[in-house]
Amino acid sequence: MGQIGREFRWFVLAVALAACSPGERPTRVARDPVLRNEAVFLYGPADTTRPPRAVVFFFGNDIGFWQPHRQLAATLANSQYAVAGFDMRSLLRALPAGAARDTAFAARIDPIIMAARHELGGDSVPLIIAGHSLGAEVAIWTAAHVCPGGTVGVLAMSPGSRSHLRVSLSDIMNGPEPTGAESFSVADAIASVPRDERIAIVRGTRDDYASIDPALLAAGRDRVERFSVLFAGHSLKQVSTSGFVTRRALDWLLAPR
């Protein structure tokens, strides 16, 4: 990436940070050049004298790592989690088309996750791959096919039934799910997650995708649990409620096997 590209990326990141309220702003500045070239938002645990309970690497949705995600990250940091929020849109746009796409994504995302884990002081604590909507689907695919070291589970908020490693106009417009050659079945991806990892699905009771959960639960069998957010829709914007349910889901992911 050239100098102009790097400057533009940091301009976008600065605009995003300016839009955050003080309580939502990231608490760490990345030192690793791997992270400084990506839109990664770092939230360290509230008590800096103790290690984090876990590192949560969180994929944003098709419009980025938006305000409800930042609010959730700040809430989790106050509960002693370390959170790396990732706006994946730029990375997905840069991937090649066709069969090389999956391999290219895996090669790019693994060092980003590992660098974020190190920056947050979480090399020796559990890693949870997380995401919302499209990000939840990408999180499941990442756990299944990239298998980042130290991963103990997946936190999937509002996943759909089919997805892809791209952001399409249909995604942004809440159109039909992808069916092309580059798309994948989320249930199949759940079935491919390593057997020693759990998957927690956080779902609003008013989410139109709730009807697919029996298939997702069946794919993961006893390794998958659903956590319901009452009266919430697909966006899970009510962080005061979804944050409480999300912490319950994280407790389950981290509970002794």
* pLDDT score recorded for residue 241: 72
* pLDDT score recorded for residue 237: 82
* pLDDT score recorded for residue 99: 85
Instruction: Give the Cα separation of 193 and 253 in Å (integer).
Output: 14
- Distance between alpha carbon 43 and the CA centroid of its chain, in Å? 14
Superfamily of domain 3-254: Alpha/Beta hydrolase fold, catalytic domain (3.40.50.1820)
* Ordered mean pLDDT values, 10 residues apiece, the chain (257 residues): 43 44 82 94 96 98 93 96 97 93 97 97 98 97 98 98 95 91 96 98 96 98 96 83 92 96
Instruction: Give the Cα separation of 37 and 108 in Å (integer).
Output: 12
Residue 5 burial (CB < 10 Å; 0-12/13-18/19+)? exposed
pTM for the structure as a whole: 0.90
Per-domain boundaries in the chain: 3-254
